[in-house]
Amino acid sequence: MSNKRELDNLSPVEKVLHFWNNVWSPPYNLDLIDELMVEDFIITNSGKDIIGRDNFKAWVAGFLKTVTDSKLENLEIFESKDGTRVVSRWKFTGYHNGMFGITPNGKPIELTGTAIWEIRDNKLAHNWVERSAFEVYKQLI
């Protein structure tokens, strides 16, 4: 899927899955963020907001450098009746390459989490994430 019209025709669930499958997993196409997210996109992660599509894109790029060969697998997904919310449960795997500022050691990692997405103007607008980061951190130290 490569053109804007095809992306616009995706359902909210399909948009989230397209994001998971192509940004957090190979081919790691960060340019999809420009197509799928509103300009003032917000991710709320670990109690902090990253505001703006460009800031989010930079954050994703930085995070992907800390986990090599990453892949995000959707475990369960559904949307609200009115299509303004999508909820997904996921598993993210890869190899430790400096996550949490810890010296890279190549150990396998597995994060699990839940994401709630707001859909606005047919795009992803806000993502609230809860993840098992502390459990992964304990495994790496």
Write down the pLDDT at residue 47. Answer: 86
pLDDT averaged over 10-residue windows placed end to end, the chain, 141 residues: 76 96 97 97 94 98 96 97 97 95 94 97 96 88 83
Q: What is the pLDDT of residue 6?
A: 84
Structural domain harbouring 85: 4-140
Q: For position 38, what pLDDT does the model report? A: 98
- Which residue, among 46, 50, 53, 55, has the nearest Cα to 99 in the 3D structure? 46
Number of independent structural domains in the chain: 1
Quick one: pLDDT at residue 110? 95
Looking at the chain, how many residues does it have? 141
Where residue 92 sits, what CATH number does that domain have? 3.10.450.50
* pLDDT score, position 1: 53
Counting Cα atoms < 13 Å in the Cβ hemisphere of 81 gives 0
